[in-house]
Amino acid sequence: MPSADATFDLTPVAAPPSKRRGRRRTIGVLVVLALAVLGLLSQGLLHSLNYFETIDQAMNSRARLGTETIRLEGVVEPHSIVRTSSGASFWMSGGGKEVLVHAHGSPPQLFQANIPVVVVGHFTSSTSDSFYGTQILVKHSASYIAAHPKRVQAPNGTVR
């Protein structure tokens, strides 16, 4: 029989965690997570979040698109821009195909020939290669080149 002044440790004791099981589960879950992400990427499923359709993509699925509003991307063909009272008309190319764009509204200040643009609008019919645009967005490239690379600085400090 224990004496009256014997001290008992009554603080709750937590059961020792089963480390091995926990680690196995962690690894298993991480593998599932990695497989899910890899599966997603390898299937190219994420391509569905594209901001625009390229001209060749749009032309190939023109029957399905009909006159639905889409964002169409292509490069403005040189010497094709005609400024109109309501906006601009120009040929836009991409993937070896061309579309005639009639855009309404004033284009952004960088709008020019040979620049990639995204036009919001729709084909005039499901068989036509004519596109009616309500907005032009200029999609500038990631390269930065000096406007006048061969410019020289005169002794008086002015740049020519």
Partner 1 sequence: MIRVAWLVAAKDLRIERRSRVLLWQVLPFGVMALLLSGLALGAAHAGHSNAAPGLYYLVMVLVALLMINRSQVIEGSPGTRASVATLGLDPAGVFLGKALALAVELWLTGVVLLAGAVLVLHTALGGTLSALPSVVVTLGALAAAGTLYGALSGGGQGPATLLPVLSLPAFAPLLIAGERSFSAALYGGALLQWWVISLVALVAYLAIGILLYGVLEES
Partner 2 sequence: MIKQLSQRLLGPVTLLLLALTFWLGLWVTPPDKVQGNLARLLYLHPAVAWVALYVSFGTATIASALYLWKRSRSLVMDRVAHCAMEVSTVFILLTLITGSIWGRPTWGVWWAWDARLTSTAILGVFTVAYLALRRANDDAELRARRSAVFAIIAAINVPIVHFSVDWWKTLHQGATVFTQDGNLLVHGIMLWTLFISLVAFTLLFFWLLRARYRLDVLRGERDQASLEEALVQRRREGVH
Give me the residues that bind partner 1 (CB under 8 A), please. 15, 25-26, 29-30, 32-33, 36-37, 39-40, 43, 45-46, 48-49, 64
Q: Is 90 in the site for partner 2 (CB under 8 A)?
A: no
| Sign (positive or negative) of CA dihedral 62, 66, 72, 78 | positive
Task: Quote the least distance from Cβ 128 to partner 2, whole Å.
Answer: 23
Q: How many CB atoms neighbour CB 45 within 10 A?
A: 10
Residue 26 binds what, of partner 1, partner 2, none (CB under 5 to 8 Å, by partner type)?
partner 1
- Choose between 50 and 61: whose C-beta lies nearer to partner 2: 50
Q: Is 141 in the site for partner 2 (CB under 8 A)?
A: yes
Long-range CB contacts for residues 18-26, cutoff 8 Å, separation at least 24: none
| Cα separation, 145 vs 26, whole angstroms | 50
List the one residue from 115, 122, 124, 132 that touches partner 2 (CB under 8 A). Answer: 115
Whether the Cβ atoms of residue 78 and residue 85 lie closer than 8 Å to each other: no
List the one residue from 49, 63, 152, 154 that touches partner 2 (CB under 8 A). Answer: 49
Helix (H) or strand (E) holding 138: strand 130-138
Q: What residue ranges in 48-123 does DSSP mark as E strands?
A: 53-54, 70-76, 82-83, 87-94, 97-104, 116-123
Task: Quote the least distance from Cβ 88 to partner 2, whole Å.
Answer: 12
Q: Is 101 in the site for partner 2 (CB under 8 A)?
A: no
Task: Quote the least distance from Cβ 84 to partner 1, whole Å.
Answer: 30
Residue 27 binds what, of partner 1, partner 2, none (CB under 5 to 8 Å, by partner type)?
none
